Amino acid sequence: MYLRSKIVEAAVESNAPVEIPEIAIVLGSGLGSLVDKVEDKLTIPFSDVPHMRMTTQRLHAGNFVIGKLGGKQVIVLQGRLHLYEGYSSRIVVFPVFILHMLGVKTLILTNASGGINLTYSVGDIVAVSDHINFMGVNPLRGDIEMGRKALFPDMTDTYTPKLRELACTQAKACGIDLHEGVYIGVAGPSLETPAEIRAFRVLGADLVGMSTVLEAIAARDCKMEILALSLVTNMAAGVLDEPISGEEIVATAKRRATDLGNLIEGIVASV
């Protein structure tokens, strides 16, 4: 496997022991700066990995970054693939199966989201407790050639409760007010209408975004433990009497990236 061979090669060159990461972190839009915390980095572009597609999203660098974070060996995905880029659901989750084959046991997903819950504010960080798949696709549909483990995978407690508890503990230590909520995933690329947001609220959604759900489905099938952290970069359509600004989303992500990075580092150190 390509990533494993590159890890071994780097270890041999530096006369260091081979450490295969068991923790992976996927960084959402505007959150790629977490890699600055990673020590002894080995950076591998998505384009170098056989069969891996490149992200076309300008806020995603498109790299695998392997190194030390919180004293643990991790692999960080500096960006992800999305349905709205024109990729199929299987291509979107292909990185998850790569991580599974590498030996990753714990997956930390991050994303930028729109706040549906009226008690949320821009800049809040939310631990996802459950999701609603409103994307119209399922990455496990069809045959089992990509590693599918069960005919009908159980999605109860997809987001590992003990990891959410750990996140809550670390958030308190970092002075962060961490919420819990339900994330609804949509295909995009158009943002949601106010009517859709009202409907999503009735369905029980607290957050809306265009990622995470498909990756979580694939990771659940691979028996990974999953934590998803969502940064509310804007309030969803119709919540405020103003249009949604792309500049606001980017600015919020940058403003809260340090806090989110500190939280993730604390979680990784305690896993």
User: What pLDDT sits at residue 253?
Assistant: 85
Tens-place pLDDT, residues 207-263: 999 999 999 999 999 999 999 999 999 999 999 888 887 788 888 888 898 899 999
pLDDT at residue 111 greater than cutoff 60: yes
Q: Which pLDDT band, with edges at 50, 70 and 90, does 49 fall under?
A: confident
Q: Which of 39, 28, 230 is nearest to 125 (CA)?
A: 230
Q: Please, are residues 95 and 80 in contact by the beta-carbon 8 Å criterion?
A: yes
Q: What is the CATH number of the domain that holds 202?
A: 3.40.50.1580
Confidence category of residue 2, pLDDT binned at 50, 70, 90: low
pLDDT at 44 over 80: yes
Number of domains in the chain: 1
> What's the whole-number average pLDDT of the chain?
89
Domain that holds residue 103: 2-270
* Separation of alpha carbons 162 and 157, rounded Å: 10
pLDDT digits (tens, 9 = 90+) for 183-220: 999 999 999 999 999 999 999 999 999 999 999 999 99
Cis peptide before 95 (omega within 30 of 0): no
